[in-house]
A and B are shown apart, each in its own frame.
Chain A
Amino acid sequence: MSDREIDRQLVARAQGGDKRAFELLVEKYQRKLARLLSRFIRDPAEVEDVTQEAFIKAYRALPAFRGDSAFYTWLYRIGINTAKNYLMAMGRRAPTSTEIEAEDAEGFEEGEQLRDINTPESVLLSKEIAETVNATIESLPEELRRAIQMREIEGMSYEDIAQAMDCPIGTVRSRIFRAREAIAEQLRPLLGTSKERRW
């Protein structure tokens, strides 16, 4: 199953009324979209807001998404348009046209009361997360580190990784999983629900 197929299935569920399925897509793409928009908008708080708004628009427009393009491509266009509109409303220079699709993926009203989505703002995870991840990665056994880097950074399939590491696919699967869990274990305290006195 390709990545596009994963998204297609999640979208189908979301279109069928399963809001949680959309939430999974949000979780998958929100940082990627925010990184993209931060090329145009400097203030991190504003990038957050615009990213939020883009996801809200995507959610509302989901019934009209037909799957002609990949979900992220569609989301990306909405994100760019949202950022463009925001910048223009702020009187700032909008990004150049090479970055913006001519086709407008939106077709709904602005300013409607959004009763169906509740959007808590400002959950900002930061350099601390990135540093914890990188520190843990460095401390992993080499075969785990190589496996997860090939998967996440180079985007290789298990089969390709198995070839590169000269091991069975099952071993690749296990190494990637173990690497993720080792890092997750370090991250969980940072993401936990207990209140921590950090300063």
Chain B
Amino acid sequence: MMRGLLGTALVPAVGTALVLAVGAAQAQSPETLSWLRKIHEATQRLSYTGTFVYHNGTRSETSRITRYVDGAGDIEKVEVMDGVPREIVRTKDMVRCYLPESRVVKVDRRVDQRTERGFPALVSERFTALARHYELSLGETRRIAGFDCQAVLLSPKDDLRYGYKLYADVKSGMLLRAVTVDSEGNPVEQFTFTQLAIGNVTRDMVKPRHAVRAWRVEHAEAQPTRLAGWGLAAELPGFEKVTELKRRLGESRPVGQMVYSDGLAAVSVFIEPLEGRGDPVRTGLASMGAIHIYTREVANHRVTVVGEAPAMSVQRIADSVEFHRPR
């Protein structure tokens, strides 16, 4: 008995039923789509400081987030206050993750601008494509952290993906709460602001807390590339390849990465050569809230699939990874 977010039966398969569903979704979706655009624009336009809590069912963590905007661009900083201390700072070109306990900073250059946030037209197009796989509608209004929020509901049309409830400030579009729900409407993950102040951000508020002299620096060195011979035997409906690159993981392990997305959820396929080093590949599924990780061995490589989709979807993608030696 699969029920979507709104208590209506989900369309179980593609076909004529889907046409009707799409039609119905389109009747509602212009308003919902404009809400999604508004939410996206808020992430581009606003400066803010806030405290939010991330719940995933086995734990609960508080973080501070700050975003600073000026003529030169924007800088965003997230500092996690519980568990392992860590800080992530994103500038125009880079994402840096500071790990003071291990004295490591991981540096990732932002590589694929087309999937990044700076291109509103393309992002907007991506949101329109959402209506193919999610029923979009507006839910109730409620107050969160002192802001009047509108609920935007994305209810998946199949059980290959999660549903989402997004609560956005009616005035600014700022997302105050995001809940990921499974096919029974149970929350699997939630981000919620407990305090938020828009505006009044100075540049020093997004400076990293740590001086990284004598820390180990790990450069991802990501570059778009074709991973010759690698692909999926069968793509999961709705999940299209959005990027393909090679990079380093951890200290220096070279790895290929392919990312598949339906416009809202994303799944990464990591491919690492074994070459007789490292631990033997242990096949199976591990989970962390809404994120599932499936590992298996293909053609003497370790394949690790990481996805924000139900475990079954992550496993299906993992099982369909194949290698055909290029001629």
Which A residues form the contact surface with B (CB < 8 A)? Answer: 42-43, 45, 49, 89-92, 111, 113-114, 120-122, 124, 195, 197-199
Chain B positions 110 through 151: 1 when the CB is less than 8 Å from some CB of chain A, otherwise 0: 000000000000000000000000000001111101101000
Q: Which residue of A lies closest to B194 (CB)?
A: A121
Known contacts A92-B7, A122-B53; 9 additional CB pairs below 8 A are A43-B187, A45-B179, A89-B140, A89-B142, A91-B6, A122-B60, A122-B194, A195-B82, A198-B83
In Å, the complex CA distance between A198 and B83 comes to 7
Partner of A197, one of B84, B145, B179, B186: B84
Q: Is the CB of A198 within 8 A of B146?
A: no
List of B residues within 8 angstroms of A111 by Cβ: 143, 148
Q: Which residue of B lies closest to A43 (CB)?
A: B187
List of B residues within 8 angstroms of A197 by Cβ: 83-84
Query: Could you show 8 A-B contacts with beta carbons less than 8 Å apart?
Result: A89-B141, A90-B139, A91-B7, A114-B146, A121-B194, A122-B192, A124-B60, A197-B84
Min C-beta distance of B56 to chain A, whole Å: 11
Q: Is the CB of B142 within 8 A of A49?
A: yes
List of A residues within 8 angstroms of B106 by Cβ: none
List of B residues within 8 angstroms of A122 by Cβ: 53, 55, 60, 192, 194
Q: Is the CB of B192 within 8 A of A121?
A: yes
In Å, the complex CA distance between A172 and B179 comes to 49
Q: Which residue of B lies closest to A118 (CB)?
A: B146
Min C-beta distance of B183 to chain A, whole Å: 15
List of A residues within 8 angstroms of B187 by Cβ: 43, 45
Partner of B59, one of A45, A114, A199: A199
In Å, the complex CA distance between A103 and B28 comes to 37
Instruction: Provide the main secondary structure of the chain A interface.
Output: loop
Q: Which residue of B lies closest to A120 (CB)?
A: B194
Whether a CB of chain A sits under 8 angstroms from the CB of B47 is: no
Top 8 nearest A-B pairs by Cβ distance? A89-B140, A121-B194, A122-B53, A199-B59, A90-B140, A199-B83, A43-B187, A120-B194
List of B residues within 8 angstroms of A42 by Cβ: 186
Q: Is the CB of A121 within 8 A of B60?
A: no
List of A residues within 8 angstroms of B60 by Cβ: 122, 124
Q: Is the CB of B81 within 8 A of A195?
A: yes
Q: Which of A114, A120, A121 has the most CB of B within 10 A?
A: A121
Min C-beta distance of A47 to chain B, whole Å: 12
List of A residues within 8 angstroms of B81 by Cβ: 195
List of A residues within 8 angstroms of B192 by Cβ: 45, 121-122
Whether a CB of chain A sits under 8 angstroms from the CB of B190 is: yes
In Å, the complex CA distance between A91 and B139 comes to 9
List of A residues within 8 angstroms of B6 by Cβ: 91
Q: Is the CB of A198 within 8 A of B142?
A: no
In Å, the complex CA distance between A96 and B58 comes to 33
List of B residues within 8 angstroms of A124 by Cβ: 60
B 67-87 contacts with A by CB, 8 A: 81-84
B 230-265 contacts with A by CB, 8 A: none
Q: Is the CB of B55 within 8 A of A43?
A: no
Min C-beta distance of B162 to chain A, whole Å: 15
Min C-beta distance of A37 to chain B, whole Å: 15
Min C-beta distance of B192 to chain A, whole Å: 7
B 181-198 contacts with A by CB, 8 A: 186-187, 190, 192, 194-195
In Å, the complex CA distance between A180 and B243 comes to 59
Min C-beta distance of A49 to chain B, whole Å: 7
In Å, the complex CA distance between A195 and B81 comes to 9
With A90-B139, A122-B53, A124-B60 given, is the CB distance from A43 to B148 under 8 Å? no
In Å, the complex CA distance between A111 and B142 comes to 9
In Å, the complex CA distance between A89 and B143 comes to 13
Q: Which residue of B lies closest to A112 (CB)?
A: B143
Q: Which of B53, B143, B146 has the most CB of A within 10 A?
A: B143
Q: Which residue of A lies closest to B190 (CB)?
A: A45
List of B residues within 8 angstroms of A199 by Cβ: 58-59, 83
Min C-beta distance of B52 to chain A, whole Å: 10
